[in-house]
């Protein structure tokens, strides 16, 4: 298996996003099933686990502690700070004192004295970037984090933060059907030698080819708020996904594996962190680390599904207003 550099460590290019087990996509699996998934992933060779304080209000971090923290040296651990929820209220807070308090709370939930990579989950427009980055630098000096990163930031703000203290990674949504990073972030991370970690690399599950109709999504599933899943847009998008599935099958892969291969083909500094709730889906995604899909098939996938062919924005207008990444 090839590896790629992330926060000073060589890891498999496909890691595991740890949101799905407790938040966002309907009912959570039983806790013992989530624990079993994380343990299976580590046993299978997954060495990059990505979580956040916001995932289940700390539950994802607690499950990781229960599942695999007794094998702390075997994997790169990433978590995030900056998004705060108080009942129905949701806001961004990356003030230095908030970053420090959030990090200490995450370390306690995770049951460790350090994380390898600590992200600011969103840009705090009310706090100077230099102040936020300063808190990250002090955490590095204290040995609480190995490196810092940012999530869903624009190219200009990435450069501003990197000039204060070099960052290790930028995490943002990137997939066949979400190409915003190609407006600046992709080039910036390549130029500055920063890893680019793609979340939702299989289009929030859509590019797996398993969603026949968004009507099957549970009430409370956040995808119901996303325009690409709306009834007026889904039929056109589903038709594209069916073609993607057929293309993948022609080379002995599935649609998710082809989608992951496409992301990783966009640069040697790319990583992908698909999330899942099941061991079966994890195994399929993990297998993409070693699949040899012909470059011409990857290119055809990119021509089939892209920002020009997909119908609908990735977020609602309200959610999109919180994102700093450049937009089409």
Distances, alpha carbon 94 to alpha carbons 38, 164, 218, in Å: 29, 16, 32
Strands 76-81 and 117-120 turn out to be parallel
**Helical pair 59-68 and 96-110, crossing angle rounded to 10 deg:** 40
> Would you state the torsion angle of the CA atoms of residues 17, 21, 24, 25, taken in this order, to the nearest 10 degrees?
100
Q: Tell me the C-alpha distance between 80 and 273, whole Å.
A: 14
Judge whether 218 and 26 are in contact, CB under 8 Å: yes
Report, as residue numbers or ranges, the catalytic residues: 55
Q: Tell me the C-alpha distance between 218 and 27, whole Å.
A: 8
- DSSP letter string over 4-42? EEETTEEE-SB-EE-STTTSSSSSPPPHHHHHHHHHHHH
Q: Tell me the C-alpha distance between 24 and 62, whole Å.
A: 17
């Amino acid at each position: 298996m090839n590896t790629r550099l992330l926060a000073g460590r060589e890891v498999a290019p496909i890691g595991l996003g740890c949101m799905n087990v407790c938040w966002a996509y309907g009912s959570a699996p039983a806790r013992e099933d989530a624990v079993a998934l994380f343990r299976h992933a580590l046993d299978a060779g997954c060495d990059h686990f990505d979580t956040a304080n916001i995932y289940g209000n700390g539950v994802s971090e607690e499950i990781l502690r229960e599942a695999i923290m007794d094998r702390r040296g075997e994997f790169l651990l990433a978590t995030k700070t900056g998004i705060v929820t108080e009942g129905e209220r949701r806001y961004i807070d990356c003030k230095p004192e908030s970053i420090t308090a959030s990090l200490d709370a995450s370390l306690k939930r995770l049951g460790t004295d350090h994380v390898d990579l600590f992200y600011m989950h969103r840009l705090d427009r009310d706090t100077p970037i230099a102040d936020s980055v300063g808190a990250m630098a002090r955490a590095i000096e204290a040995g609480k984090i190995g490196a810092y990163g940012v999530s869903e930031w624009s190219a200009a703000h990435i450069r501003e933060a990197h000039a204060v203290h070099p960052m290790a990674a930028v995490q943002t949504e990137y997939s066949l059907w979400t190409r915003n990073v190609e407006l600046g972030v992709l080039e910036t991370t390549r130029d500055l030698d920063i890893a680019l970690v793609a979340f939702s690399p299989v289009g929030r599950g859509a590019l797996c080819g398993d969603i026949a109709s968004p009507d099957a999504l549970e009430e409370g599933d956040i995808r119901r708020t996303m325009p690409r899943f709306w009834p007026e847009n889904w039929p056109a998008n589903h038709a594209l996904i069916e073609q993607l599935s057929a293309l993948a099958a022609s080379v002995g892969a599935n649609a998710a594996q082809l989608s992951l291969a496409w992301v990783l083909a966009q640069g040697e500094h790319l990583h992908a962190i698909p999330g899942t709730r099941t061991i079966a889906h994890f195994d399929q995604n993990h297998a993409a680390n070693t699949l040899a899909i012909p470059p011409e098939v990857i290119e055809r996938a990119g021509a089939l599904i892209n920002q020009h062919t997909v119908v609908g924005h990735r977020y609602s207008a309200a959610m999109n207003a919180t994102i700093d990444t450049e937009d089409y």
